[in-house]
């Protein structure tokens, strides 16, 4: 048996092979396992007990030890004095160099493209600009245009799902200062006209982690949005998807799948845009 075969084949008592590993062809399994380990460590997982690591990421103990040794040799991991490992400087500088070479909006568009591919819906990146949301990016699927919203559009914040997701993370006083006196502006019959109604909506949005809109701004168009938060919980931007109800769907499973894609995209953007001056400035204006 060759060394490569030994690395792929599980040993006695090993964790079961990952279904994704087994179900795909042409993929380099050791690389996929290394990435699983790196994600585990990046999420705060400890490598002090390699058997526990193996169970958590679905890789046998011996392979975990080999991965750690190899990644440490390459400077991708470095040992901690108290045991375990953290991401090494070689890995961090590689990531920093890659991000520094990209425009923040170009990086953000890659997330929007992924979300659109996953959901089949148009995706948008917005920031709070005074009492309005400003649409910075729009990624659309290969379908007839169904919305009047474009990159550059500005809409009163509380009338849209992304606007609500941003307002939900501001204080009550800040929201009232931005939106002004009652009655609040309305776009459709679903629009909140009072602060009591809006505050109830925003509480639900904050508790669920995303804001849903049905005919909230454009008739026949449903939307889902999640805030992109900085390390202090301030809203930097919002990621949203929108489309006709026939595509968005009305069943619980479809909507949960859409919400997961939006929340995952927002979490990725929170990391990618954390040091983007334009977004920090927009958050301050909000």
Tokens of 64: 């975990």
State the average pLDDT for the chain: 82
Same domain, 48 and 181: no
The pLDDT score that the predictor gives to residue 216 is 61
Residue 64 sits in the same domain as residue 128: no
Say if residue 88 is in the same domain as residue 147.
no
So what's the pLDDT on residue 177? 92
Please tell me whether residues 54 and 195 are part of one structural domain: no
HEC-encoded secondary structure of 70-131: HHHHCCCEEECCCCCEEECHHHHHHHHHHHHCCCHHHHHHHHHHHHHHHHCCEEEEEEEECC
Single out the residue in 40, 67, 97 at which a domain terminates: 97
Is there a single domain that holds both residue 148 and residue 90?
no
Evaluate if pTM is beyond 0.75. Answer: no
Dist. CA 217–CA 282, nearest whole Å: 23
Mean pLDDT within 221-237? 91
3-state class (DSSP) for residue 164: helix
84 and 146 housed in the same domain:
no
- Of 111 and 6, the structure prediction assigns the larger pLDDT to 111
CA distance 32 to 96: 22
What is the structure's pLDDT at 201? Answer: 92
Q: Quick one: pLDDT at residue 5? A: 36
Q: Is the pLDDT of residue 100 over 90?
A: no
- Apex CA 126: angle with CA 209 and CA 121, to 5°? 70
Do the beta carbons of residue 209 and residue 90 sit within 8 Å? no
Which residue, 74, 97, 120, sits at the end of a domain? 97
Report, as an integer, the average pLDDT of 185-196.
Answer: 84
Cα dihedral: 195, 198, 202, 205 (round 10) = 170
Could you tell me the pLDDT band of residue 101, with boundaries at 50, 70 and 90? low
Residues 70 and 112 in one domain: no
Looking at the structure of the chain, the number of domains it has is 2
Residue 261 is predicted with a pLDDT of 96
Q: Which domain holds residue 8?
A: 3-97
**pLDDT score of 217:** 72
- The verdict on 74 and 159 lying in the same domain is no
CB 242 within 8 A of CB 122: yes
Q: Are 113 and 190 in a shared domain?
A: yes
Same domain, 79 and 200: no
CATH number of the domain bearing residue 52: 1.10.10.10
Residue 9 and residue 67: Cα distance in Å, rounded?
Answer: 15
Classify residue 121 by its DSSP letter.
S
SS3 call for 186: coil
Do 246 and 136 belong together in one domain? yes
- Is residue 212 predicted with pLDDT exceeding 50? yes
| Better pLDDT: 189 or 35 | 35
Q: What is the pLDDT of residue 65?
A: 93
pLDDT band for 227, please (50, 70, 90 cuts): very high
pLDDT digits (tens, 9 = 90+) for 31-87: 989 999 998 998 888 999 999 999 999 999 999 999 999 999 988 999 988 889 988
- With bands split at pLDDT 50, 70 and 90, how would you rate the model's confidence at 7? very low
125 lies in the same domain as 232: yes
**Domain final position from 41, 63, 97:** 97
Q: d(Cα 170, Cα 193) in Å, to the nearest integer?
A: 19
Supply the CATH number for residue 243's domain: 3.30.450.40
Q: What is the pLDDT of residue 226?
A: 97
User: DSSP labels for 202-216?
Assistant: HHHHHHHTSEEEESS
The residue with greater pLDDT, 6 or 189, is 189
Residue 264 in tokens:
């995952």
């Amino acid at each position: 048996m060759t060394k490569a075969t030994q690395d792929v084949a599980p040993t006695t008592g090993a964790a079961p092979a990952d279904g994704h590993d087994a179900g795909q062809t042409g993929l380099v399994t050791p690389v996929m396992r290394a990435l699983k380990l790196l994600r585990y460590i990046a999420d705060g997982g400890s490598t002090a007990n390699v058997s526990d690591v193996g169970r958590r990421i679905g890789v046998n103990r011996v392979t975990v030890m080999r991965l750690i040794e190899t990644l440490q040799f390459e400077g991708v991991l470095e040992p901690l004095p108290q045991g375990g490992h953290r991401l090494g400087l070689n890995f961090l500088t590689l990531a920093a160099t890659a991000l520094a070479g990209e425009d923040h909006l170009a990086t953000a568009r890659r997330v929007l493209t992924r979300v659109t591919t996953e959901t089949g819906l148009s995706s948008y990146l917005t920031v709070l600009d005074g009492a309005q949301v400003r649409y910075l990016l729009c990624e659309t699927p290969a379908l007839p245009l169904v919305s009047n919203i474009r990159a550059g559009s500005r809409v009163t914040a509380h009338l849209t799902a992304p606007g609500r997701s941003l307002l939900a993370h501001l204080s009550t006083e800040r929201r009232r200062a931005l939106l002004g006196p009652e009655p609040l502006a309305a776009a459709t019959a679903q629009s909140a006209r009072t602060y009591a109604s809006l505050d109830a909506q925003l509480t639900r949005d904050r508790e669920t982690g995303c804001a849903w809109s049905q005919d909230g701004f454009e008739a026949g168009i449903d939307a889902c949005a999640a805030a992109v938060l900085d390390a202090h919980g301030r809203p930097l931007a919002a990621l949203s998807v929108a489309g006709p109800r026939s595509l968005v769907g009305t069943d619980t499973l479809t909507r949960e799948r859409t919400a997961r894609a939006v929340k995952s995209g927002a979490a990725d953007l929170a990391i990618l845009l954390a040091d983007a001056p334009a977004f920090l400035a927009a958050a301050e204006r909000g």
